[in-house]
Amino acid sequence: MSFLTFILKIPFRNKTRSALAIVGIAIGIATIIALGIVTDGLKESTQNTLKSGGLDYSPRSQLPESGIQ
């Protein structure tokens, strides 16, 4: 038996393990794609909010007054 035929026969010997591996890879790829879509949406939303000037608050320093300058 050549090495190539050996490599091609291994995945079909244990069908359950092969199916679980394929499902795991598919879930991983779907997760990465979903995170990319969410990240792009958040970037676009943030840019639109900053361009329109629609912020409901303005950041400021909350340092305690200690008298030391």
pLDDT in tens, 5-41: 888 888 778 888 889 999 999 999 999 999 999 999 9
Q: Are 12 and 18 in contact (CB under 8 A)?
A: yes
Residue 50: pLDDT band by 50, 70, 90 thresholds? Answer: confident
Residue 29 to residues 5, 14, 22, 34, 38, Cα–Cα distance (Å)? 28, 23, 11, 9, 14
Q: Which residue has the higher pLDDT, 20 or 2?
A: 20
Q: How far apart are CA 32 and CA 49, in angstroms?
A: 26
Identify the residue with better confidence: 26 or 66: 26
Structure tokens at 3: 């090495």
Structure tokens at 35: 């995170």
C-alpha Rg value of the chain to the nearest Å: 27
